[in-house]
Amino acid sequence: MLFGKQLNCLFLNLEKTIYYKVMIAKEIRNEYLRWKSLVKEDDDLIRELSLMSDDENKIEDAFYRNLEFGTGGLRGVIGVGTNRMNIYMVRKASQGLANYVVKKYKKNPSIAISYDSRIKSTLFAKVSAEVFAKAGIKVYIYKELMPTPCLSYAVRELHCSAGIMVTASHNPSKYNGYKVYGEDGCQITTLAAKEILDEINSLDVFNDVYHGDYDEYLREGLINIIDDELYTRFIERVKRESLLKDEPIDKSVKTIYSPLHGTGLKPVTRILKEAGYNNVFVVKEQEEPDGNFTTCPYPNPEIKEAMQLGIEYAKRYDADILIATDPDCDRVGIAVKGKDDYVLMSGNQVGVLLLDYICSQRIKHKRMPSHPVAVKTIVTTDMAEEVAKAYNVEIKDVLTGFKYIGEQILLLEEKGMEDNYIFGFEESYGYLSGSYVRDKDAVDGAFLIVEMFAYYKYLGISLLDKLEELYKKYGYYSNYLNSYEFEGSSGFKRMNDIMETFRTSFKAFGTYQINKVLDYQKGINNLPKSNVLKMFLSNNVTLVIRPSGTEPKLKVYISIKGDSLADNDKKYKELIKEINEVLK
Q: How far apart are CA 425 and CA 374, in angstroms?
A: 8
Stretch 155-175: mean pLDDT, rounded?
96
Span 407-436, average pLDDT: 96
> d(Cα 251, Cα 340) in Å, to the nearest integer?
24
What's the pLDDT band for 584 if we cut at 50, 70, 90? Answer: confident
The residue from 94, 121, 161, 169 that is catalytic is 169
Task: Please report the sign of the dihedral spanned by the C-alpha atoms of residue 315, residue 317, residue 322, residue 323.
Answer: negative
Per-residue pLDDT tens digits for 290-321? 999 999 989 999 989 999 999 999 999 999 99
The residue-averaged pLDDT of 422-427 equals: 97
Please provide the average confidence, as pLDDT, over all residues in the chain.
Answer: 93
Q: Give the residue-averaged pLDDT of 484-513.
A: 86
Q: Which residues contact 537 (CB under 8 A, 6 or more apart)?
A: 509, 512, 513, 514, 515, 543, 575
pLDDT of residue 12: 54
- Binning pLDDT at 50, 70 and 90, where does residue 77 land? very high
Over range 488-512, report the average pLDDT.
Answer: 86
242 backbone φψ class: left, alpha, beta (φ>0; ψ -120 to 50): beta
HEC readout, 265-313: HHHHHHHHHHCCCCCEEECHHHCCCCCCCCCCCCCCCCCHHHHHHHHHH
Per-residue pLDDT, averaged over 397-419, amounts to 94
pLDDT band at 405 (very low <50, low <70, confident <90, very high): very high
Query: How large is the average pLDDT for residues 459-476?
Result: 97
- Domains with residue ranges and CATH for the chain: 9-226 (3.40.120.10), 254-474 (3.40.120.10), 476-583 (3.30.310.50)
Q: In 52-202, where does DSSP find H-type helix?
A: 56-63, 87-104, 121-134, 148-157, 190-201
Q: What is the average pLDDT across 147-169?
A: 97
Q: Is the pLDDT of residue 3 over 80?
A: no
Between vectors from CA 319 to CA 318 and to CA 322, what angle results, nearest 5°? 140
Digit-coded pLDDT (tens) for 308-355: 999 999 999 999 999 999 999 999 999 999 988 999 999 999 999 999
Average pLDDT of the residues in 387-411: 95
pLDDT at position 547 is 87
* pLDDT score for 377: 96
pLDDT average, residue stretch 531-557: 88
Q: Which of 522 and 198 is assigned the larger pLDDT?
A: 198
pLDDT digits (tens, 9 = 90+) for 9-37: 555 565 555 545 666 788 999 999 999 99
**pTM of this prediction?**
0.91
pLDDT at residue 16, rounded to an integer: 52
Note the pLDDT tens digit of each residue in 262-275. Answer: 999 999 999 999 99
Q: What pLDDT does 166 receive?
A: 98
- What is the arithmetic mean of pLDDT over 195-206? 96
Q: Which pLDDT score is estimated for 1?
A: 47
Count Cβ atoms below 10 Å from residue 178 Cβ, excluding itself: 27
168 near 293, Cβ under 8 Å? no
pLDDT of residue 549: 67
Give residue 425's pLDDT band: very low, low, confident or very high (50, 70, 90).
Answer: very high
- Strands 74-77, 533-537: parallel, antiparallel or unpaired by DSSP? unpaired
Distances, alpha carbon 286 to alpha carbons 147, 326, 334, in Å:
16, 11, 16
- Strand 280-282 and strand 255-258: the pairing is parallel
Q: Based on the residue annotation, tell me whether 489 is a catalytic residue of this protein.
A: no
d(CA 432, CA 440): 5
